[in-house]
Amino acid sequence: VKEQHEKLREEIEEIERQTENVDPEALKRVEALVADYETTKKEENER
């Protein structure tokens, strides 16, 4: 799970670099999705 998480984080950073000149609303949606994902992951790890 940790490796998957690292890989995802790297992908997210890559996307952020590519989207610096993109619509801020889209970026906010991506950030919200990332936050949801991280919350879900944390809950799964606590089980």
- Residue 3 tokens read as 């490796």
Tell how many helices (H) and how many strands (E) occur in the chain. Answer: 2, 0
Total domains in the fold of the chain: 1
For the chain, 47 residues long, give each residue's pLDDT as a single digit of tens.
Answer: 788 889 988 998 888 888 777 778 888 888 899 899 999 988 988 88
Note the pLDDT of residue 26: 83
Q: Which amino acid is at 5?
A: H
pLDDT of residue 22: 72
Domain span including residue 33: 2-46
